[in-house]
Chain A
Amino acid sequence: MDPATFLAALVAMAAPLVLAALGETLTEKAGVVNLSLDGTILLGAMTGFVVASVTQSLLLGFLAAGLTGCLVAALVAVIGVWLGQSQVAVGFALTFLCRDLAYFLGNPYARQQGPQLATLPVPLLADLPFFGTVFFTHSFIVYLSFLATPCCIYFLYHTRHGLTLRAAGENPEGCWARGIDPNTVRFLATLAGGAMAGLAGAAFSLAVKPGWGHPQGCEGIGWIALALVIFGSWHPLRVAAGAYFFGLLQLLGIAFQDSFPGIPGQIFQVAPFPLMIFTLILIHLSRNTKNRYFAGFVRLFGSPPPRGLGRPYRRP
């Protein structure tokens, strides 16, 4: 495989993961953990495929998937933010509920031919040598994943609402004292993150791994997205980099299977999890180290989580 095709496959494959992980980053930056990600993605994949099949409209399929993600996130937010109950508990329950719901409701449409997102080569740019193939010969959802990272960074660090969102995740009491209702901010951030996870699901069933079945092929991606948010330590750039890194590992796994059949492919599948634990240890070490260079090095790769992460806020 030539390098350009390899990289093009990589960015296409990583697209849904980038969307889901960035969505979760937004949610967690506001202080909410949406643990239902894996189920949300699967339910989004099913809804997107079914709606697109029935209506023969890909746009409606994506919209429906995003809306589904929103609805699941809304449940997490109502219980975990407004009612102040455990976000972990509700997210965990919803993960499994959504997964089984997706298999049950999607069963009549399993293994059927459905619509599939066509590639949209960008005029002129697609003809560029190398870069044209890598970046400009994809479907619209891949372009969306390219835009998502800079958009996220711009939103979080260069807009008022982004600052408000980070403030809500950092210290909700401080937000309230400044006239911002942290729970509204958190609610909206959770909805936005959920919508992106739903879109990620449709990106699987309508583009990356087209079709619906049991299994669909995107199972487990939600957990990896959650791990990536920690691995990228809550910064969109690092999170996105982590998503592409994971895509690379997966592709290498496939490539190595042919040349080195001795290495099991699963090694690459589970790589994000030990890396995530490694990041946590690194963050811990950077806090206790007296070596400035080491601390600076670690800060490049990691920063502490939002102070208010997972802690519900109740009005005094």
Chain B
Amino acid sequence: MIELANISKNFGKVQALQGVSLSAEAGSIHGIVGENGAGKSTLMKILTGFTSRSGGEILCRGKKISLDRPSDAMRFGIGMLYQEPLDFPQLSVLENFMAGEAAFAPGQARADLARLAAAFGFVFHPDNRVETLTVGERQQLELLRLIHGGARLLILDEPTTGISERQQEQLFAALRRLKADGAAILLVSHKLEEIDSLCDTVTVLRHGRVAAAMRCPFDRQALLQAMFDSLPERLSPPQTATGKEPVVEFDRVVVTVGRAGLHEATITVRTGEVVGLAGMDGSGQAVFLKIAGGFLPPESGQIRRFGRTLPNGCGCSRDVAFLPADRLAEGLLPGMTLREHHILAARGHIFLSAATGLAGSRRAIDDFNIKGHPETTAEELSGGNQQRLLLSLIPDEVRLILMENPTRGLDVQSADWTWQQLHRRKAEDGAIIFASPDLEEIMAQATRVVVFYDGRIILDTPTAATDYHEISRAITGEAGTTGPSDEVGRSGLLPD
């Protein structure tokens, strides 16, 4: 029904997609899988006209079409369920159902909504506000709206993240039914279970290119191999000098923020450990780090740092440092100079002169090899130098370092240098916890790997005792042998 030919997209110098071709047939479900940053979401956004493409052609029933804006895509019957529902929380269910439709007929729309909801087994109160619904219900509403709007090609972006088991069953039943009715469905997912049970064909994206295209039944091993880069068998295994003293203890911690939240996370990180958190984006790693840092109170469960229970589960202290993924927005003050950053970090200065903090920032520039001078503003620095500046700002008494994507945007040398610094900083009585989309980095730097899947810890093992395949399987939803398998119990689909 829709054919994509040689689609490419670049953001500035970064090539997000390169010559991607695929076709979606009426009456079939086509899966799109790939690692974080493989280009799945970008490709789908091009197909809905949300973003423009840099090259390539889109054919609809054999005719070339241009998709410059979402209204074009709607004309051709293309509708998308976004990962975060793009709806209007303060408007009613009925109003959300009607917004964007050509005709305004509340009575008719109310009847249509009731009819469609009954057909798919969904329950809606048309006058309730959407903000009172769960994510799963909002998604159901969006799905009905797209069908009502005449969508014949439905795109779903990670639709099962953060919805209940029952809602997932309802969604799958709805998709099978739509397929039988002749709709074309594109399912973006990283859960191989879903791909197995729903899809007729699958396209694997890796680094913005098509890595493989397969038909049902799928060979799991081949799929995994296409999704993830192959790695050198063994990298120099990091030292595993795990101490006895606990640094962070999570006891059945539950939160519901974000799409997946965190379900009953129980884990103890001890001194000397470097813990790498793996998983698809939004599977719970970021939330885990925020809780460990004391920026987010758990809704239930307990969290202890250095043996102390945090009051109200929240609170920052001078012995914990957090290096966020978005360095400029969350970590640094973009318009302020290096010297001013060091003055703020040092505390204790009340009156400032031109010389205040100068010595400190000069020393940091030398020690951390920052390409800049004391009067350079943080936003003028390159990504690598911003990370160096952040590292230089970590106070000496810090014993727990939390990081998101510590080497994102860094070249190989800077990344190596950063890790050298980090390993050196980590004293005998401290620990590092970092999340990274880069498995190679986790295997090379962490002494312990923790894999998150849908807000749960699905695998928790020393790096030396695991391998690359086990981790990539866990990322796609299959518990490994060494993981706390009693907690997951949804695996066993892989033919051994």
A173-204 interface mask toward B, CB cutoff 8 Å, 1 = contact, 0 = none? 11111111100000000000000000000000
Q: Is the CB of B100 within 8 A of A170?
A: no
Q: What residues on A are CB-neighbors of B106 within 8 Å? A: 158
Q: Is the CB of A177 within 8 A of B90?
A: no
A232 interface contact, C-beta 8 A: no
Q: Is the CB of A170 within 8 A of B90?
A: yes
A160 interface contact, C-beta 8 A: yes
How far, in Å, is B443 (CB) from chain A's closest CB?
Answer: 35
Q: What residues on A are CB-neighbors of B99 within 8 Å? A: 163-164, 167, 174-175, 178, 180
A306 interface contact, C-beta 8 A: yes
B78-111 interface mask toward A, CB cutoff 8 Å, 1 = contact, 0 = none? 0010100011111100010011110110100000
Question: With the chains together, A305 CA to B268 CA distance in Å?
Answer: 43
Chain B contact residue count (CB 8 A cutoff): 25
Q: What residues on A are CB-neighbors of B90 within 8 Å? A: 170, 303-304, 306-307
A150-174 interface mask toward B, CB cutoff 8 Å, 1 = contact, 0 = none? 0000000011100110110011011
Please choose the segment from B69-77, B186-194, B335-343 that sits at the chain A interface, where 4 or more of its residues have CB less than 8 A away.
Answer: B69-77
How far, in Å, is A287 (CB) from chain B's closest CB?
Answer: 12
Of A166, A171, A306, most buried by chain B (CB within 10 Å of CB) is A171
Q: Is the CB of A167 within 8 A of B88?
A: yes
A215 interface contact, C-beta 8 A: no
Chain A contact residue count (CB 8 A cutoff): 23
Q: What residues on A are CB-neighbors of B104 within 8 Å? A: 159-160, 163
Of the candidates B45, B51, B100, B103, the one whose C-beta lies within 8 Å of that of A178 is B100
B50 interface contact, C-beta 8 A: yes
Given contacts A177-B80, A179-B71, A179-B74, contact A307 B100 (CB under 8 A): no
Of B71, B89, B99, most buried by chain A (CB within 10 Å of CB) is B99
A316 interface contact, C-beta 8 A: yes
B392 interface contact, C-beta 8 A: no
B418 interface contact, C-beta 8 A: no
Q: Is the CB of A174 within 8 A of B87?
A: yes
B50-81 interface mask toward A, CB cutoff 8 Å, 1 = contact, 0 = none? 11000000000000000001110110000010
B160 interface contact, C-beta 8 A: no
Query: Could you show 30 A-B contacts with beta carbons less than 8 Å apart?
Result: A163-B98, A166-B91, A166-B95, A167-B95, A167-B99, A170-B90, A171-B86, A171-B87, A171-B89, A174-B88, A176-B69, A177-B48, A177-B50, A177-B70, A177-B82, A177-B86, A178-B74, A178-B86, A178-B100, A179-B71, A179-B74, A179-B100, A180-B99, A180-B100, A181-B69, A304-B90, A307-B90, A316-B45, A316-B50, A316-B51
Residues of A within 8 A of B (CB): 158-160, 163-164, 166-167, 170-171, 173-181, 303-304, 306-307, 316
**Pairs of residues from A and B, 5 with the lowest C-beta to C-beta distance, nearest first:** A178-B100, A179-B71, A160-B104, A174-B86, A170-B88
Extra contacts besides A167-B91, A167-B99, A173-B86 (14): CB < 8 Å:
A159-B104, A160-B98, A163-B95, A163-B98, A164-B99, A170-B91, A171-B87, A174-B87, A177-B70, A178-B70, A178-B86, A178-B99, A179-B100, A306-B90
